[in-house]
Chain A
Amino acid sequence: MDVRSQISMVFHLDKCIGCHTCSIACKNIWTDRKGAEYMWWNNVETKPGTGYPTKWEDQNIYRGGWQKTNGKVTLKGAGKRRGLTNIFYNPNLPVIDDYYEPFTYKYLDLIESPEGDDQPTARPVSLITGKPIDIKMGPNWDDDLSGTPDYGRNDPNLKNLSAAEQEVMFQLERMAFFYLPRICNHCLNPACVGACPSGAIYKRGEDGVVLINQEVCRAWRMCVTACPYKKSYYNWHTGKSEKCILCFPRLEAGLAPACMHSCVGRIRYLGVLLYDADKIEAAVHDDEKNLIDRHLDIILDPFDEKVIRAAKMNGVADSTIHAAQFSPVYKYVKEWKLALPLHAEFRTLPMLFYVPPLLPVMATVKQVDNSDQAEKMNPIAKYWDDNWLYDTSTKELWGTLDQVRFPLKYLASLLSAGNEDMIKDKWKKLMAVRIHRRRVTVGDVSNEKADETLREAGITAEMADGIFYLTALAKFEDRFVIPPAHREQAIEMLDFTGDTKGEVGFGIKSKIRRGL
């Protein structure tokens, strides 16, 4: 047993309101520099949708992640042989148009245009060339466009759904969507690290943050190809790749990462997980259907005496073990088994877990006869004149898990490598928590029914209360349990990053001109 600690995350998708505050917080701190304008280390996409970069999940296009062929796990589009033979030209590199060409507006024209007959306009100009451009794409371009042919229907996850299923899904009355906030997953088997020919990318042993050393990066761009989540970005101005750093300077100071701190929906949780590094290799090589179980199996119980002893032997600080015991992430992922990794089939063992959204599946629509109501209404007043109604009664909710608005298959393709039972299992739990809490707070649910649903979901009333608390009421300290970094042994003491704000890279003190 080789016990290590990892700062890990849970995003509760039911709570995300798609406000993009997280993206803005991140952009303002880290990527407001030349060459980094197009980068969103944190982005929020609408699902179903094509995402950012467009169709990133389709590895037939981007060739990211690991693949298992004949029992061997290799990088799909990079690696030693493929990476080195393609070093002069990377055939699988996304180009800037796959993200979008960064732009701004000529705001000054609004003020400085000479007087004339027309209203002055602020034309969009490219942030690369400075020339006027026609904007074809931008940040969150597909925001809330889940019903549209260009975005919603081009979601790579739909390939697992039959045409009929897709038709049903996109019926206007049944349309549902949710938001998927994404950051780097700080994987246990990071493809970006594996693909870097210069060895510039590494995982920090102490907390599992995956970083790119800007001085060692030589612009081979293999990490951009290899990361199946497309969370390693190439800075065209500095000629270096950059990625989410999990705000490690903040973490070391005991602060939550900016995206998490600012999250309006309070969907984000961060805490320590202890894991057994010896099990990684076997887990990565297992069959696709076992991947998630093996992944969760790597995570260790921080209360187990044996684990604690092994952790101490390995130099994990007592405070870190303590933090692991209070970790909200451990609760969601292991204790309650509510959270799942995104696209486990990429085999990078991502350490960011998602609680599948229940809301898009909850309410079903029924046809009702609302003619009396319509009659009573003032004919001039606007009213919804069709007869579909959302049924949000608890009874209906519980009974319709199999006939949900949102196909189970779709979520399974996103969060459980295609295993529908796994998603159903989470949904049952989420449902049971609601019914249990309704019994407690409103009291219109019978004890038998509530107990039965709890039993069916395989959780106890205490667990349900715990889930309720952490989901709905949790305070800052409950959501973010950050172990002290021990400044005396802090991992990468950083210069004040404000000093180099707007320069190339961060943490680099000297002014650097590129173009060589």
Chain B
Amino acid sequence: MNALNNFFFIALPYMALVIFLVGSIYRFTYKGFQFSSLSSQFLEGRKLFYGSVPFHWGVIFLFLGHLIAFLFPREVLAWNSQPVRLMILEITAFIFGISMLVGLVNLLVRRYTTPRLKFVTNKMDLVIYLLLIFQTVMGLWIAYNFRWGSSWFSTLLTPYLNSIFTLQPDITVVSLLPLTVKLHIIGAFVIIGLIPFSRLIHFLVPPIDYIWRPYQQVRWYWGRRKVRSPRTPWSVQRPKNN
């Protein structure tokens, strides 16, 4: 049992994190062309709405929720000190969880019932769908059966995750958790480890800078004024176009 716990809660997280880091950087540097998700809306443009939209908003909310509980446990606990606020948080999270699950199921069904999509789907897509569905179901199950996860996450799991990130893994608490919670944790790390090999990679390049970028972009290959000026040398730095 101990060996298993050690493997799943110490070895697996480190493996996943290293694979995620190295793999993502490698893919960004050497496989830049593939650093995106292969959109299939062009081949099927209606059913996608009922999958993609609920899934994405759900997953974003829940991802940020987990992240905040990890980064600011004290604030979350303070927020939860009033039952009404705790209820609001938990119910919202649960709704987003359901939205995510509905979205995922719709996506899965869409992908395997639309003939055209077979040709833009690979095996990894199926793995990811199944893993994410598993993960969401586990999450909902936990939220329903072990109430007030936002509170006990902050007290139980945040220290564990901290111990991982500070390289002093301490698994005494996690090894005592119920099986479903354990599976949820394991699922999370497996997904993290698969990011560089799947379409999930696109979450690393959200187009945030679009918000402040000017609409129009004009690029010069050479500093245009510099090229003409006799005072500057011809070895001017080339701006990078591609």
Chain A residues close to B by CB (< 8 Å): 4, 79-80, 83-84, 87-91, 93-96, 128-129, 131, 189-190, 193-194, 196-199, 201-206, 213-221, 224, 234, 236-240, 277, 312-316, 489-492, 504-505, 508, 510, 512, 514-516
Contact with A along B212-242 (1 / 0, CB 8 A): 0101111111111111100000000000011
Give the distance to chain A from B194, nearest Cβ to Cβ, in Å.
Answer: 11
Q: Contact at A315–B228, with CB atoms within 8 Å? A: yes
Q: Contact at B122–A239, with CB atoms within 8 Å? A: no
Q: Which residue of A lies closest to B44 (CB)?
A: A95
Cα of A398 to Cα of B33 in the assembled complex, Å = 58
Cα of A505 to Cα of B32 in the assembled complex, Å = 13
User: Which of B149-157, B173-181, B201-209 contacts the other chain?
Assistant: B201-209
10 contacts between A and B (CB under 8 A): A79-B215, A88-B52, A95-B42, A194-B215, A198-B205, A198-B210, A199-B217, A236-B43, A489-B222, A492-B242
Q: Contact at A236–B40, with CB atoms within 8 Å? A: yes
Cα of A193 to Cα of B214 in the assembled complex, Å = 10
User: Which of B9-17, B112-120, B136-144, B184-192 contacts the other chain?
Assistant: B112-120
Q: Contact at B120–A205, with CB atoms within 8 Å? A: no
Cα of A489 to Cα of B235 in the assembled complex, Å = 11
A214 CB contacts on chain B under 8 angstroms: 33
> Which of B42, B125, B228 has the most chain A CB within a 10 Å cutoff?
B42
Cα of A94 to Cα of B44 in the assembled complex, Å = 10
A512 CB contacts on chain B under 8 angstroms: 31, 33-34
Q: Contact at A515–B121, with CB atoms within 8 Å? A: yes
Which of A131, A203, A206, A215 touches B33 (beta carbons < 8 Å)? A215
Which of B122, B216, B223 touches A515 (beta carbons < 8 Å)? B122
Q: Contact at A193–B41, with CB atoms within 8 Å? A: no
Q: Contact at A219–B37, with CB atoms within 8 Å? A: yes
> Which of A220, A312, A512 has the most chain B CB within a 10 Å cutoff?
A220
> Is B49 part of the binding interface, using a Cβ–Cβ cutoff of 8 Å?
yes
Cα of A15 to Cα of B33 in the assembled complex, Å = 41
Q: Contact at B201–A516, with CB atoms within 8 Å? A: yes
> Which of A88, A198, A205 has the most chain B CB within a 10 Å cutoff?
A88
Chain B residues close to A by CB (< 8 Å): 31-45, 48-49, 52-53, 55-57, 115-116, 118-122, 124-125, 197-199, 201-202, 205, 207, 209-211, 213, 215-228, 241-242
- With A219-B38, A236-B42, A313-B225 as given contacts, are A516 and B210 in contact (CB-CB < 8 Å)? no
- With A93-B42, A234-B42 as given contacts, are A199 and B213 in contact (CB-CB < 8 Å)? yes
Give the distance to chain B from A515, nearest Cβ to Cβ, in Å.
Answer: 4
Q: Contact at B210–A80, with CB atoms within 8 Å? A: yes
Cα of A373 to Cα of B45 in the assembled complex, Å = 61
Q: Contact at A218–B202, with CB atoms within 8 Å? A: yes
Q: Contact at A193–B217, with CB atoms within 8 Å? A: yes
Q: Contact at A128–B41, with CB atoms within 8 Å? A: no
A315 CB contacts on chain B under 8 angstroms: 220, 222-228
Cα of A204 to Cα of B222 in the assembled complex, Å = 11
Known pairs A213-B241, A515-B125; list 19 more (Cβ under 8 Å).
A84-B211, A88-B52, A193-B216, A193-B217, A199-B209, A199-B213, A205-B218, A205-B224, A215-B242, A219-B36, A220-B207, A239-B37, A239-B38, A277-B218, A313-B225, A492-B242, A512-B33, A515-B120, A516-B122
Q: Contact at A89–B241, with CB atoms within 8 Å? A: no
A201 CB contacts on chain B under 8 angstroms: 217
B35 CB contacts on chain A under 8 angstroms: 215, 218
Cα of A317 to Cα of B35 in the assembled complex, Å = 37
Q: Contact at A190–B221, with CB atoms within 8 Å? A: no
Q: Which residue of A lies closest to B128 (CB)?
A: A516
Q: Which residue of B lies closest to A508 (CB)?
A: B33
Cα of A128 to Cα of B114 in the assembled complex, Å = 12
Which of A87, A93, A218 touches B36 (beta carbons < 8 Å)? A218
- With A128-B116, A218-B35 as given contacts, are A203 and B217 in contact (CB-CB < 8 Å)? yes
Which of B38, B199, B207, B220 touches A87 (beta carbons < 8 Å)? B207
Q: Contact at B41–A89, with CB atoms within 8 Å? A: yes
B115 CB contacts on chain A under 8 angstroms: 129, 131
The list of the 8 closest CB pairs from A to B, nearest first, reads: A315-B224, A197-B207, A194-B215, A205-B220, A239-B38, A218-B36, A95-B45, A88-B56
Cα of A219 to Cα of B41 in the assembled complex, Å = 10
Cα of A206 to Cα of B220 in the assembled complex, Å = 6
Q: Contact at A215–B38, with CB atoms within 8 Å? A: no
Which of A131, A218, A238, A491 touches B221 (beta carbons < 8 Å)? A491
Cα of A277 to Cα of B214 in the assembled complex, Å = 15
B225 CB contacts on chain A under 8 angstroms: 313-315
Which of A91, A94, A190, A489 touches B227 (beta carbons < 8 Å)? A489
- With A88-B52, A89-B52 as given contacts, are A217 and B42 in contact (CB-CB < 8 Å)? no
Q: Contact at A84–B41, with CB atoms within 8 Å? A: no
Cα of A214 to Cα of B227 in the assembled complex, Å = 28
Q: Contact at B56–A239, with CB atoms within 8 Å? A: no
B43 CB contacts on chain A under 8 angstroms: 95-96, 128, 236
Which of A129, A206, A277, A516 touches B34 (beta carbons < 8 Å)? A516
Q: Contact at A218–B207, with CB atoms within 8 Å? A: yes
Cα of A457 to Cα of B32 in the assembled complex, Å = 57
Cα of A84 to Cα of B48 in the assembled complex, Å = 17
Cα of A197 to Cα of B57 in the assembled complex, Å = 18
Q: Which residue of B lies closest to A189 (CB)?
A: B216
- With A89-B48, A221-B41 as given contacts, are A203 and B210 in contact (CB-CB < 8 Å)? no
B223 CB contacts on chain A under 8 angstroms: 315
Cα of A129 to Cα of B116 in the assembled complex, Å = 6
Give the distance to chain A from B223, nearest Cβ to Cβ, in Å.
Answer: 8
Q: Contact at B38–A516, with CB atoms within 8 Å? A: yes
A239 CB contacts on chain B under 8 angstroms: 36-39
